[in-house]
Structure 1
């Protein structure tokens, strides 16, 4: 009988040890699974954050490049306007000098009429040159604003700018555009 009790005790102990062993392995397995899951989750988060960061940097780079192109275009247009303004000034000065030379060299009884017509023609040429220059500047400004998305500033001053008047005085712009030249003989 004692042998049977010892055998039963041994079987019970073996079963307990086996249950403990299974429990230990199960806990280790669940911990390992949790660790693997945590590692995967962290890796996925880092990968997502990295992709977001790269996407943001790419967007910023595109915006910087666009801003730089717009800045370069605006500088170029500004330089062209300055150059055109200087050319127009030189043309006007040349025309006025030519008028002055005609006034001093053409002294005859009917030269007053010729000089008067010449002055009117010169004024017309000056006005045409100003209109062309203003139209070119408006076209460049419109292009700049189209690139930057701002077209509100152009609409108020465009119609008046072709006449050389401010928007407030554009209704009277067609009146009195000629320059009076008095020549005494």
Structure 2
């Protein structure tokens, strides 16, 4: 009888609408397929503050910037925040998610015991904050970002005039 109750509870659980902890969209576990979930498996990085952010923190910063832009009117244009996804270096709020999968917990967390009532969204976001590959990617990007660009100057060392009026292939006819 216990097995029947467990099976019935699982069936009911699989038919209940849930919030995906990766893409934050509602889904029904029994009706989700691969490709329904589009998400980032890293964290958001504030380039100006040089700090990782949660999705809620980044959203608050982005909303504040929008409100300041609206209230500034036509005279002054505040600088938008420089927020990037560490996993793919996409711009927060602009670039699409870099991962596609199935709604629910990431594979790495499926085998772990999860306490009843534990916030799965917070658990997954913390898991993504600890994404080593994303940390390395954003660290490498920041090294490149902070390096001043070099300019290449092309000079004509042959002292031969360069004609740009006739393409090379046209002069060979």
| TM-score normalised to structure 2 length | 0.22
Greater fraction strand = 2
Higher relative contact order (CA 8 A, sep 6+): 2
Larger Rg: 1
| TM-score normalised to structure 1 length | 0.22
Greater fraction helix = 1
